[in-house]
Amino acid sequence: MATEVFRRHEKKYRVPAAAFEALQDKLSDFMELDRYNEGRFTYPICNLYYDTADSALIRKSLQKPAYKEKLRLRSYGSPPDLNSIVYAEIKKKVAGVVGKRRCAMPLGTAYAYLESGQEPPLTPEMNPQILHEITWMLRQGLQPAVVIAYDRRAFFCPTRPDLRISFDTNIRSRRYDLRLEDGDYGDLLLPADTWLMEIKTVGSFPLHLSHLLAEYEIYPASFSKYGTEYKQFLAGNPAPFPEWEVLPEAASVE
């Protein structure tokens, strides 16, 4: 059964373009590129977030509760067609620990399921328990809310399978054409020369990684793609780029 379940800590960092160039070169000394980066510097990720008509999920998330969750459809690479495999995914955060539970299915199947709430016939790629959890979320009256896309360069550590580092840029969104097959275009949420770095790990940071962050004065920051989009949506169009909340805690090390 090809089920994907993740549970890990995720820390985010704002990385200027100049620091990104140097940092990603040094990361290459002990990490390898994601398989989606083969033959290209970045690859697109496109997400269709689901929410209630009054945006209850994202409004709760912005209050920073101990528990919060989101539901989205995610595609990797070129815009999918209705037969392309995408992921219906629940993302949860409980007391600072991020969990992702997702099922792979064709895009057309995913649309029909998320619109009707009727679970599709099981395939080897689907976990019935995760489908039940998604179905329960759908009972809140969820509907397509926003498309958020970005270009990613990602690394994984061959000696630490739990350690992954991703860099996202050209983060863009739209509240129209709410279909993944329509493409990954939209309005920028951050300046084009800014990278959002995420370090994802089950354990603590390797010492050499913490030294790299200190060398380039890169500090943890609070940033939510969907949360930022929602704030800008409320502020009206065009909205100014947001200020980042720099967090005081330092990264833990081994």
239 — pLDDT class (breaks 50, 70, 90): low
pTM: 0.91
**Of residues 78 and 144, which shows the higher confidence score?**
144
- Domain residues for the domain of 158 are 4-246
Determine the angle formed by the axes of helices 17-27 and 207-215, rounding to 10 degrees. 160
User: pLDDT tens across 123-158, in order?
Assistant: 988 999 999 999 999 999 999 999 999 999 999 999
Which token pair is 196? 């959002």
Q: ω into residue 248 within 30 of 0, thus cis?
A: no
Mean residue pLDDT of the chain comes to 89
Whether residue 252 lies inside any domain: the answer is: no
**Phi, psi for 135 (deg, rounded to 5):** -60, -40
Between 97 and 44, residue with greater pLDDT: 44
**Comparing 14-18, 142-146, 150-154, 240-244, which segment has the lowest mean pLDDT?**
240-244
Q: Is the pLDDT of residue 253 over 80?
A: no
How far is Cα 56 from Cα 74, in angstroms, rounded to an integer?
21
Side-chain-side CA neighbours of 191 within 13 Å: the count stands at: 9
Return the bridge partners of 90, or none. 71, 101
In a domain? residue 169:
yes
Positive or negative: CA dihedral 213, 43, 195, 234 = negative
Name the residue type at position 103: C
Task: Let me know if residue 254 belongs to a domain.
Answer: no
Give the 3-state secondary structure of residue 75: strand
Task: Report pLDDT for 96.
Answer: 79
Nearest CA-CA partner of 86 in 53, 117, 51, 114: 114
Number of independent structural domains in the chain = 1
CA distance 170 to 188: 6
130 Cβ neighbours under 8 A, 6+ residues apart:
3, 5, 90, 101, 102, 103
The residue-averaged pLDDT of 180-207 equals 91
pLDDT of residue 2: 45
> What angle is formed at CA 41 by the lines to CA 250 and CA 18, rounded to 5 degrees?
45
**Average pLDDT of the residues in 229-253:** 66
Q: Is 250's pLDDT higher than 60?
A: no
Q: What is the mean pLDDT of residues 187-202?
A: 91
Is residue 49 in a domain?
yes
Residue 222 pLDDT > 70: yes
- In the predicted structure, residue 3 carries a pLDDT above the cut 60: no
Residue 253 lies in a domain: no
Residue 151: CATH number of its domain: 3.20.100.30
| Cβ atoms within 10 Å of 62's Cβ, excluding its own | 16
